[in-house]
Structure 1
C-alpha cells in the first residue's frame, strides 16, 4: 500500500495533553458533580467531544458545562501542552517524502491551531480542521471526508492516525486505513475490539509503516 495522505488526531496523538485534559475535566466535575468521579477516572474523557461528554452527564446543561471546561482548560493550556518525543521528526520526514498531512480534531479550531502553533508544527500541515468545521464529530467520518476533500485525497491511499477508539472507528467508517498509536493513555487491549488496521508503538514505527509502500 502506498499512502499519499495522512490525517492525524491532535490530543494524545501529536500533543501530550492528557494531564491538561484530565485536570480540566476534574475541575468541572467537582464543581458540578461533586464526588461522582475520582481523579483517576478522568482518562475516559480524553477523546470524546465535549458535546458527547457533557451531553451524557446533563443534556440540559451541555453548552454551559462545555463552556466552563474550555475556560478552565484555556487557563492552563499554554503551560501544560507538550509534544510527544519523535513527533516533529516524523512529520518532517513524511513531508519531505511528499505526503499531504492534515489534523482532524474534536477541539475547536482556534484552540487547535493555537496548540499546533505552540508545538511548532504548523508548517507541516496542509489542512487543520477543528470541531466548528463540521457537524458530526468522530467516530462519524464527516470530518475525515472534509479533510480528504480539501487534500484531494482518495480512500485507498489515506490513513487516519489516532490514540482513541473514536479515531479508529472514524477511519474504518471512512474506508481508510486506521492506525492506533501506543504512546498515549489507551492500551492495545482497549483498542483491539475496534479493529484498527495497524498498531504502532512509537512515531518512528508509524513513519516506517506509512513510508513502507513508497520504499518497496
Structure 2
C-alpha cells in the first residue's frame, strides 16, 4: 500500500503471515454516525430533558461500551434503554462503508479468519451485521457486554483470536479509534488505523499504528491467501 507522506506510518511488522483480522464495527465496517446521533439525541431528551444532546463529546469516546461512556460523561445509565431501542429501530438506515463488502468477501475467499470486536453489545452487533447480509462472513462477533474488560483492555481481541485459534502475532486489529489500537497492541496484534470514517485522523496517527489503511481494499496487501496447515 502506498501512503501519502503526511500519513506515513510504520511498515507492517514482519510477524506474519496474517491469518486473521479482527475489526471494530462502527466507523470501520458500518457508517453508523448519523443513526447514533439521532438515537443519542432521543435518549437524551427522554431521560435528561430539554437542551442540546452532547453528541460531540459522546463521539470522542466512540468504541467504548455505552454504559462506560455514560459514566465518563456523567450521564444517567438509564439512557441506554432508549438508545438501544432507537438503534434497533433505525438499523436499516445504517450502511456498510463503500468497499467493505467486497473486501470482506475477498478476505473470506483467501481463507483469512475474521472477527468483530465492538463497543456495541454482542446481540446488537450481530443483528446489525445480519441485517446488512455480512454476518456469515465473520467467524466470531463479540460485544463489550461479553468480555470482563472492554476496550481499551486487550480482552476482547484476545477472546476473538482464541475463538479463531490464531495467535496475535498472525493477526491484525483494525480500528478507527485510539482505544482500538491500544486494545490490539496490548493483545500483541498488528494494529491498523483506518481513515475512511473521517474522524480524528491526527490522534490515530499519533498513537503510532503499525499500518494506516485509507480504503478497505488496502487491507488486502497485508493479507495474502492463508496457508493451509
Q: TM-score, normalised by structure 1?
A: 0.88
Q: Which runs of 5+ in 2 are unaligned?
A: 1-15
Say if 2:112 and 2:225, in contact at 8 Å, map to a contact too: no
Of 132, 138, 143, which residue of structure 1 is paired with 2:151? 138
Q: Which runs of 5+ in 1 are unaligned?
A: none
Separation in 2, partners of 1:16, 1:70 = 17
Separation in 1, partners of 2:54, 2:69 = 16
Separation in 2, partners of 1:50, 1:140 = 15
Q: Corresponding residue for 1:14?
A: 29
Say if 2:111 and 2:226, in contact at 8 Å, map to a contact too: no
Separation in 2, partners of 1:24, 1:135 = 26
Return the structure number with greater helix share. 1
Q: TM-score, normalised by structure 2?
A: 0.84
C-alpha change, 1:156 and 1:209, in structure 2 (3 Å) is same
Q: Quote the offset at 1:159 in angstroms.
A: 0.6
Q: Corresponding residue for 1:70?
A: 84
Say if 2:111 and 2:225, in contact at 8 Å, map to a contact too: no
Matches within 5 A, 1:104-123: 104-123=117-136
C-alpha change, 1:210 and 1:173, in structure 2 (3 Å) is same
Separation in 1, partners of 2:127, 2:226 = 33
Q: Quote the offset at 1:101 in angstroms.
A: 0.7
For the residue of structure 1 that corresponds to 2:223, the secondary structure is: helix
For the residue of structure 1 that corresponds to 2:116, the secondary structure is: strand
The CA RMSD measured in Å over matched residues stands at 2.2
**1:93 corresponds to 2:106:** yes
Deviations 1:137-187 (A, max 9, x none): 111111111111111111110110011112111011111101011110323
Separation in 1, partners of 2:72, 2:58 = 15
Q: Corresponding residue for 2:211?
A: 198
C-alpha change, 1:52 and 1:164, in structure 2 (3 Å) is same
**1:2 corresponds to 2:17:** yes
Aligned residues: 211
Of 89, 94, 116, which residue of structure 2 is paired with 1:103? 116
Q: Corresponding residue for 2:63?
A: 47
Matches within 5 A, 1:78-89: 78=92, 80-89=93-102
**1:177 corresponds to 2:190:** yes
Separation in 2, partners of 1:40, 1:65 = 16
Deviations 1:23-75 (A, max 9, x none): 2122333441643655555532432221221112337x32x122221122222
C-alpha change, 1:12 and 1:203, in structure 2 (3 Å) is same
